[in-house]
Amino acid sequence: MLKTSIRLFLLVSVLSAISPAQVHSPCPTSLSTSNNPPTIARTGDLICLVPQIYGPAGLVGQNFDGPLLSTTGHSVHFQAAAVNDFGPINSEIGVQLSQLPLASPASGFVFSFNPSLGVVARSTESFGPILTDRAETIGKRKLFLGVSYQFFNYDNADGVNLRNFGVVLTHEPEPTVCATSPSTPGCSTTGVPTYTHDVVATQNSLDLKVHQATIVATYGITDRLDLSIAVPLLEVRMGVYSSATIFNFEQPPVNHAFASVTPSKYETYNSPTNALFFNGSSSSGIGDIVLRGKFLAWKGEHSSVALGMDAHLPTGNANNFLGAGTWGIRPFATYTYSGRISPHATVGVQTDGNSVLAGDVTTQPATTAHLPDIITYSAGVDAGIIRRLSVSVDFLGQSLLDAAKIATTTYSDYVGDTHPNIRSSTGTVNQDSIAGGIKANLAGKLLFTANVLYQFNKSGLHSKPIPLAGLSYTF
């Protein structure tokens, strides 16, 4: 098992290292005002919903297929701010949707040879944890099959209310205007054109829901070695709404304004200084398949220690937030004390490769960056209440290293008025959750599972309580 784990670690490390640094972008929005701009169409890929909230070309003039009236001499307007300020939100969503919790592949029934009886018999008094793991292996030639369903309804990110948050988009600098046109208002007093102080204050809402069904299977190769597979099937629904208001600080005619357009699904023109925008889509398909090997390294009279390795395969479409877009590996260790009341604990470290989810999708080609590595840790207890019913309570934590984070702040404009805004940073994101549930033996070796996961801090992408229901059978 140790040699196999080392080989798997080296293989995935090499695959991650040679993953391409550049991939094709479905929405190179930042290039819409370049000298030879590519044709940019609105796409339904979820990774493009935020960058294209103001249209396929972004927050630019009509001459570049944007929502603003064209102005002379400066056509980029607020494009860079829209890309840079909304980018961390997009990255946080994509990265953390690739790390959704899965139902444990640990069998509710564990079998081992009983020397006093001379037969293989069930060796645990509870049906085990639900979202975490236990050290015991299923038993030689035993097969566990399970299916579960989870629903995620995200409401905030790092404490920022996703249903109501402000972002202030500032104008691009114009460093050459005052040298070439010194009579431009503002040049003689502040050294920069007054219109570059204009801002677009936006009030936004993001609706994000995920349905996840997971099929798991575990097979006992020997009494000490299990091999498992988890296949997640996802449906992700996402909608972005933005009310954008222009604040001009220069007298007409050099004013920024929205172009009057016929109302559509994507844009509603209210006035020259205000418009409403929408972009939304959904995706469904297979997520990232997880392969697991678990070896029972030590077994005492009641205590057990297992060592294992998870391999995350990039089978999900990262552009549609169905997968990470890169390989990942997670070695872990699990401890269990067996009894009617059975405590357990697991710690692991997941190493990931480069992904477009951590890069920039608004360029062509899109760039990739290292997906945050993750330290995972959990502890809990499961207990057999009666012969056919057990309960499980777990603490689950994970620390995403060097991950994108956002926070609320304010922006003071040219005349001193303040507007709600967000700021971005990079650091460790510590997410802590508690889960509680039951496993009921309906008949034979058929188990019904029900669980609720509650994240009690608001670090990272946060969902309302996450229900789980599932069925499993051990052969």
Q: Model confidence over 375-387: pLDDT tens digits?
A: 999 999 999 888 8
Statement: residue 125 has pLDDT above 90 = no
**Per-position b or e across 114-135, b if 16+ CB within 10 A of its CB:** eeeeeeeeeebebbbbbbbbbb
- Residue 325 sits at the vertex; the CA angle it makes with 320 and 327, to the nearest 5 degrees, is 150
Q: What is the DSSP letter of 90?
A: H
Q: What band does 364 get if pLDDT is binned at 50, 70 and 90?
A: confident
Instruction: Identify the pLDDT of residue 108.
Output: 64
Instruction: Identify the pLDDT of residue 349.
Output: 98
Statement: residue 334 has pLDDT above 90 = yes
* Percent helix / strand / coil, the chain, rounded to 5: 10, 50, 40
- How large is the average pLDDT for residues 353-381? 94
Pairwise pLDDT comparison (127 vs 310), residue with the higher score: 310
Instruction: Identify the pLDDT of residue 320.
Output: 97
Instruction: Identify the pLDDT of residue 339.
Output: 84
Statement: residue 181 has pLDDT above 60 = yes
Q: What band does 184 get if pLDDT is binned at 50, 70 and 90?
A: confident
Q: Are 157 and 406 in contact (CB under 8 A)?
A: yes
Pairing of strands 374-386, 389-412: antiparallel
Identify the weakest region by mean pLDDT among 88-92, 101-105, 117-121, 457-461: 117-121
Q: What band does 22 get if pLDDT is binned at 50, 70 and 90?
A: low
Write down the number of H helices and E strands in the chain. 3, 22
Q: What band does 12 get if pLDDT is binned at 50, 70 and 90?
A: very low
Task: Name the nearest CA neighbour of 97 among 49, 52, 47.
Answer: 47
Instruction: Identify the pLDDT of residue 283.
Output: 97
Q: H or E element: which one contains 345?
A: strand 341-352
Statement: residue 303 has pLDDT above 90 = yes
Statement: residue 390 has pLDDT above 90 = yes
Rounded to whole angstroms, what are the CA distances from 150 to 60, 90, 264, 335, 381? Answer: 40, 23, 34, 26, 21
- Residue 25 sits at the vertex; the CA angle it makes with 19 and 31, to the nearest 5 degrees, is 130
Cβ within 8 Å of residue 12, ≥6 positions away: 311, 327, 328, 329, 351
